[in-house]
Amino acid sequence: MMTIRLSTHGWCVLIISILVIFLYYLSSFNPIGHLKGEVTSVRRLLTHCIHLSEEAGGLIKFISLKHSLNSRTKHGGMLRREPLTDADLGSHQIIVSGLTSAFPELLVRSEEHELPTHRLFDYKESVYHSDFQSSLPNDDLFVPITDLVIWVDPLDGTQEYTEGLNEYVSVMICIVLHDHPIAGIIHQPFLNKTYWGWGSYALSSDLQMAVNSRPVHSLKTVCRLLIHVHI
């Protein structure tokens, strides 16, 4: 996957902007009508996604520390020589299997498609657990699970990962309802940071502080830039 290297300040702006875009989409979203099929709690789904992003980050960090990336070229990648590591596939397996086992009817779309060819390492001690429960709202949203899609980038910044530039590595998960992003998680395993936002419901505590201290006009400028880059 093509990535852009950012400074720490740039990362902060990027993360805030991504979640502001989610808020923008949510503001134009119409209320849900009659619910059909199995209904699930978005609060529970978001909680599960945060846990899985941090668990996947633990594996990514562990593999790097053990110098066992097993880097090779991805078949069918967007770039001519797009790298792929065991950490990409291991993170993919943790997130996708974790979501589909907890929510069997949930549609999950991941950037990766292969599964690891060998048993995952015992990485549990490398997992960072953020204290996010206190930031979750008491309110909840219940929606038909078949109306949801989860988009996963199990390891964003694989090229940087292979070069040891681990501060640019992240795990990204987006919760989409009726083609509208309503929540997102960005976990940076080597910085022990987890940023998340849930539409107008809540933001992670450190992200909330960053949003409060940033001028609205600068956020809109970065949003336009991000939309242009990703089209």
Binding-site residue ranges for Mg(2+)? 111, 153, 155-156
Question: What are the angstrom distances between the C-alpha of 146 and each of 10, 14, 35, 133, 135?
Answer: 36, 30, 10, 26, 27
Rounded-to-5 percentages of helix, strand, coil across the chain: 45, 20, 35
Residues near 51 by beta carbon (within 8 Å), at least 6 away in sequence: 98
For residues 207 and 196, what is the distance between their CA atoms, to the nearest angstrom?
A: 8
Q: Of 52, 51, 45, give the one whose Cα is nearest residue 145.
A: 45
Which residues contribute to the annotated binding site? 111, 153, 155-156
